[in-house]
Amino acid sequence: METHQPLLFLFLSVFLFMVITSGGAETTEPEVFEQEDEHFHRAEGEAFYFVPWQFYKGIPTENITWYKNGSEEISTNKEELVHYEGGKLFFLNLKMEDSGHYMARYRVSSEKLKIYHLQLKVLPKGDKDLLFVPLNKGYQNIKVGCPDLIKETCKAFSGTYSWEKDNSPLPDKHFYVLWVENATTASSGIYTCTCTWKYNQKEYVTSGSRRVNVKKPVVHQTLRFLAPTVNEQLADQGSGITLNCSASCGMNAAPHCRAYWLIDGKPVNQSGYVHTSRIENPTKNTTAIAVLTIQKVTAKDFHSKFTCRVIGQTTAKNTTLTLKARESIVPLIVGGLCVSLLCVIAAALIKYFAIDLALFFRPFFQQKHHNKDGRVYDAYVVYKMQDVDKATEEALCRFVTKSLPSVLEEKCGYRLFIHGRDDLPGEDRLELVEDCMKQSRRLMVILTPGSGSGSSPSSLEDSIIEGFDWQVGLHHALVQSEMTVILIQLGDMGQQGYTHLPPALQHLIQKSAPIRWPKDARGSSAHNSRFWKKVRYLMPATPAKKQLQALIV
């Protein structure tokens, strides 16, 4: 038996070592799970109540311990300004020195440990870093909510709400939501939600502020093109042209409204083109404008498509414009000049041949009222032989006795009463002049140099008769308007002109210039010469002979 004792002792020693080694494995460090940091900026002098959101699940509070800066354990005494109660951390009067890193250790089990971190920074009241996330809204009824931190504190301690705007109290606002009705830009500012709550029979205040920016409302509407209003635009090759495009996007739509030109679907980056774009009325009815300037229109431009594209907030629209060559105005100008020239030529021809045309159509449009006047003579020829030189007297005699009757009477069929030729012997010449004057349709006055002067006549009786002819004829023509006067001038009147003629005759000459007898002109004795055409034009349309024949028939 003694020989087995050493072996038994060795076996017991190994067993005890294994037991001791197995027991030591249970004292290893637990596994640690760390949560992300939560950061808070709080105002000096206010209260701060913090609970990690994981602790709202009702975990055992005896397993939670709070530390500051990693090792400084926080008190659990409720009378302390900074203390904790389970997972709840209290700062009843924040001070600058309270800033720092706070950590909650929560032992889940002997093998598992969770750590929660809080980064706290205490700032003076009014510091801009205390503001919560800003609120940007357009014109409408704006809902301003109390920050969750203040709202949770009020909920936990049944606190009361109050509101301020830019440090001015807003009366009768005691709900965690503040409605700003009919907001305008004047409604912008810093809105502060304050919760007043009690803890350990004392009253504390926790507040949160955020800036509210009230913007003008953005009203997007269907894109509407203002220009161009046509699909074609006239252009001249070789000249410059500007293409304008504009479209309306809506109210305050400037950030989401723009217009630009494309040439055959490609951006404008070629030389010879200048492209600009801009926005008008960005805070009102926003209009996008694009301007494309073609410095020199080429043949290629007439085959290109110019597209204006407008992009709004959610939609885009296109309008396409093409160039059309403007028709040259040169043919129009040439045509107009030709027509004008033809009109001038036609007017000149009509004026020059007016008498010829009138004489040509006269047989077709005879004046019928002449058939009833019953007059015997077509013209009463008046002339004066006194105070003229021998050459003038001879020319006057040839004209009165030969040229005048041979053309008007023999070739044209007119009947003339020529003073000195048709006087009947033994008749009262004064009574004859009066009677024959009444039987004549025209008064033909032959003017010669010196006719109508007041020098002594060769025969007193002839002078009286000739003067009476003139007086009676002018009386019928001017006073009674019964006769048309035909003035024929023989020879040049000289420097004296017509001043030697009676005033009544000068008046007639001013109204109608005399027809001059071209005694030296070739063909002056032919009835179709220019002189005789003018005389025939002034004579009655139907000769007296034909009228008498018509009356007899």
- In what side-by-side order are the strands of the sheet with 285-294? 219-227, 241-251, 285-294, 273-280
Nearest Cα neighbor of 436 from 405, 468, 411, 406 is 468
Q: Please, are residues 268 and 294 in contact by the beta-carbon 8 Å criterion? A: no
> Which pLDDT does position 244 carry in this prediction?
93
Output the DSSP codes for 499-541: TTS-HHHHHHHHHSPPEE--TTSTTTTSTTSHHHHHHHHHS-S
Between 430 and 97, the higher pLDDT residue: 97
Q: How far is CA 165 from CA 143, 147, 180, in A?
A: 14, 15, 11
- The β-bridge partners of 162 are 194
- SS3 letters for 199-236? ECCEEEEEEEEEEEEECCCCEEEEEEEEECCCCEEEEC
Between 433 and 519, the higher pLDDT residue: 433
The fold of 219-325 is: Immunoglobulin-like (2.60.40)
- In what side-by-side order are the strands of the sheet with 168-170? 131-137, 202-214, 189-199, 160-165, 168-170
pLDDT band of 549, cuts 50, 70, 90: low
> Which pLDDT does position 307 carry in this prediction?
93
> Which pLDDT does position 457 carry in this prediction?
39
pLDDT 10s digits, 479-488: 666 678 889 8
> Which pLDDT does position 548 carry in this prediction?
55
Mean pLDDT rounded to a whole number for the chain:
81
> Which pLDDT does position 450 carry in this prediction?
66
Q: How far apart are CA 232 and CA 365, in angstroms?
A: 58
Domains of the chain, by residue range, sit at 28-123, 128-214, 219-325, 371-552
Helix, strand, or coil here: 26? helix
pLDDT at 206 over 90: yes
Handedness of CA 172, 175, 176, 181 (dihedral sign): negative
Mean pLDDT over 229-233 rounds to 90
pLDDT at 432 over 60: yes
pLDDT at 234 over 80: yes
Domain 371-552 in the same topology as domain 28-123: no
> Which pLDDT does position 217 carry in this prediction?
67
pLDDT 10s digits, 114-137: 888 899 999 999 899 999 999 887
pLDDT 10s digits, 438-480: 888 888 888 888 655 443 334 434 444 455 566 776 776 666 6
pLDDT band of 358, cuts 50, 70, 90: confident
> Which pLDDT does position 60 carry in this prediction?
67
> Which pLDDT does position 357 carry in this prediction?
82
Token pair recorded at residue 293: 């300037």
Output the DSSP codes for 324-360: EEPPPSHHHHHHHHHHHHHHHHHHHHHHHTHHHHHHH
Q: What is the CATH number that goes with domain 128-214?
A: 2.60.40.10
Mean pLDDT over 241-265 rounds to 87
CATH 2.60.40.10 given to domain 28-123: yes
Token pair recorded at residue 201: 């029979």
> Which pLDDT does position 260 carry in this prediction?
92
Mean pLDDT over 368-392 rounds to 75
The fold of 371-552 is: Rossmann fold (3.40.50)
Exposed/middle/buried for residue 307 (C-beta within 10 Å: 0-12, 13-18, 19+)? middle
> Which pLDDT does position 459 carry in this prediction?
40
Nearest Cα neighbor of 312 from 283, 281, 290, 287 is 287
Between 143 and 35, the higher pLDDT residue: 143
pLDDT 10s digits, 299-323: 999 999 999 999 887 788 999 999 9
Mean pLDDT over 353-378 rounds to 72
Between 254 and 51, the higher pLDDT residue: 51
pLDDT 10s digits, 388-403: 788 888 888 888 888 8
Q: How much of the chain exceeds pLDDT 70, in percent?
A: 82
Cβ atoms < 10 Å from Cβ of 444: 28
Q: Please, which contacts does 13-22 make with residues 24 or more away whose CB atoms are closer than 8 Å?
A: none
pLDDT 10s digits, 86-95: 888 999 999 9
Q: How far apart are CA 224 and CA 259, in angstroms?
A: 12
> Which pLDDT does position 291 carry in this prediction?
94
Q: Please, are residues 48 and 206 in contact by the beta-carbon 8 Å criterion? A: yes
pLDDT at 355 over 60: yes
> Which pLDDT does position 219 carry in this prediction?
65
> Which pLDDT does position 306 carry in this prediction?
94
Amino acid identity, position 235: A
Mean pLDDT over 247-258 rounds to 81
Least confident of 168-172, 247-251, 463-467: 463-467
pLDDT 10s digits, 24-48: 444 567 787 888 888 999 999 999 9
> Which pLDDT does position 442 carry in this prediction?
86
> Which pLDDT does position 464 carry in this prediction?
41
pLDDT band of 139, cuts 50, 70, 90: low
Q: Please, are residues 155 and 175 in contact by the beta-carbon 8 Å criterion? A: no
> Which pLDDT does position 17 carry in this prediction?
47
> Which pLDDT does position 120 carry in this prediction?
93
Q: How far apart are CA 419 and CA 440, in angstroms?
A: 13
Q: How far apart are CA 212 and CA 180, in angstroms?
A: 10
